[in-house]
């Protein structure tokens, strides 16, 4: 059941946290990959916000990313708003039910609303970016100050901008850039959904530049191509972009070199350790790989424990087993060699 947060439990004003969604997605089976981690930063993201661009090519890819995003907000006590355009309201609600959301309860409590662009982006009759900024500010105030929700979470299908031919896509991109200033430090989390099959490539390019987080093909990425508003609207944009791009390239090169060294060091430890080491998939509860000492525990010849053979070297009866299930009595003495 989705309930509003008790007033004593709320912490406002507070941003919902760019890292929180990366972390929630990390353990979510709907996402089959994750680029970046909450402890890493490819470049300065101090002015980043929870402003996500979802790039998708079909409905399955779209819903597999956006519905968990909405569900996470409901679980956090946020008011969630879904703006449907490409999909019918009934189809959106059906997908939410399939992903385990108690839709009836969420709608009844006011925690969830599924609306159309006519209620939001075109509520004045046409797209007006200033009117939409006021809409978000008013919605946040109503949700947090009047109705005791912890924040606003929105998921918007952006295909409405293509439907009438009257919306200037350049103005839409500028609106996306402006939102980063509006959202900064405030409890908003917004996922803008762009269909790559329908939007021109030059628009998608600008969408990538104006969102700190990207979701594509099930991968959540901290966006190294994000351009903060002050830079996006700066008259000396090319010079600032060159500086940022070269800095990012340098930092990524240094980071990758450090990662390679750490990987080599771990591989040596893994191969040479006299203690059994098992690499386990925590979601499938399955052992994926074992080092030579681990293979010996299972009675498998060490020669079968090459990098390409370890998976098959583990007896079938042990493949679906948490690493913690290894009997301690079978651990090799520290002084024993292979």
- What Cα–Cα distance (Å) separates residue 296 from each residue in 45, 72, 320? 47, 43, 18
* 277 within 8 A of 295, measured Cβ to Cβ: no
Helix or strand run (H / E) with residue 25: helix 18-26
How deeply is 137 buried, as exposed, middle or buried, from its count of CB atoms within 10 A (0-12, 13-18, 19+)? middle
Query: Of 216, 194, 217, nearest to 206 (Cα)?
Result: 194
pLDDT confidence tier of residue 304, bands split at 50, 70 and 90:
low
Q: Say if CB 205 and CB 74 are below 8 A apart.
A: no
In this predicted model, what pLDDT tens digit does every residue of 89-135 receive, in sequence order? 999 999 999 999 999 999 999 999 999 999 999 998 899 989 999 99
316, two tokens: 């079938």
Q: Angle at Cα 78 formed by Cα 73 and Cα 82, nearest 5°?
A: 65
For residues 60-81, average pLDDT: 95
**pTM score, two decimals?**
0.67
- pLDDT the model gives residue 302: 53
Per-residue model confidence as pLDDT tens digits over 25-56: 444 444 333 223 333 333 333 444 689 999 99
Alpha helix stretches (DSSP H) within 49-154: 59-75, 89-98, 103-109, 129-141
The residue among 171, 160, 56 whose CA lies nearest residue 116 is 160
């Amino acid at each position: 059941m989705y309930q509003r947060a008790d007033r004593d439990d709320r912490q406002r004003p507070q941003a919902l946290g760019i890292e929180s969604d990366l972390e929630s997605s990390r353990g979510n089976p709907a996402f089959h990959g994750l680029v970046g981690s909450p402890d890493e930063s490819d470049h300065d993201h101090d002015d980043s916000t929870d402003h996500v661009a979802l790039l998708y090519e079909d409905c399955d890819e779209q819903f597999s990313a956006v519905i968990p995003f909405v569900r996470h907000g409901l679980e956090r006590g946020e008011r969630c708003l879904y703006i449907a355009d490409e999909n019918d309201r009934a189809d959106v609600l059906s997908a939410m039910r399939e992903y385990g959301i108690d839709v009836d309860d969420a709608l009844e409590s006011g925690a969830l609303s599924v609306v159309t662009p006519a209620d939001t982006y075109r509520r004045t009759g046409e797209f007006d970016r200033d009117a939409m900024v006021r809409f978000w500010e008013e919605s946040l105030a109503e949700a947090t100050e009047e109705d005791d929700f912890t924040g606003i979470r929105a998921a918007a299908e952006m295909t409405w901008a293509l439907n009438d031919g009257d919306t200037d896509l350049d103005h839409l991109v500028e609106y996306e850039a402006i939102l980063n200033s509006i959202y900064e430090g405030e409890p908003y989390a917004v996922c803008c959904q762009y269909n790559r099959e329908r939007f021109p490539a030059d628009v998608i390019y600008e969408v990538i530049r104006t969102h700190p987080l990207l979701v594509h093909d099930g991968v959540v990425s901290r966006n190294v191509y994000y351009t903060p508003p002050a830079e996006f609207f700066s008259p000396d944009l090319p010079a600032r972009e060159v500086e940022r791009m070269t800095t990012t390239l340098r930092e990524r090169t240094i980071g990758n070199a450090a990662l390679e060294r750490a990987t080599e060091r771990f591989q040596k430890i893994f191969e040479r350790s006299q203690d059994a080491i098992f690499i386990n998939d925590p979601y499938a509860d399955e052992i994926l790989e074992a080092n030579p000492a681990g293979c010996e525990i299972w009675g498998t010849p060490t020669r079968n424990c090459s990098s390409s053979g370890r998976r098959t070297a583990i007896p079938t009866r042990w493949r679906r087993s948490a690493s913690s299930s290894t009997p301690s009595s079978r651990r090799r003495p520290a002084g024993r060699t292979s």
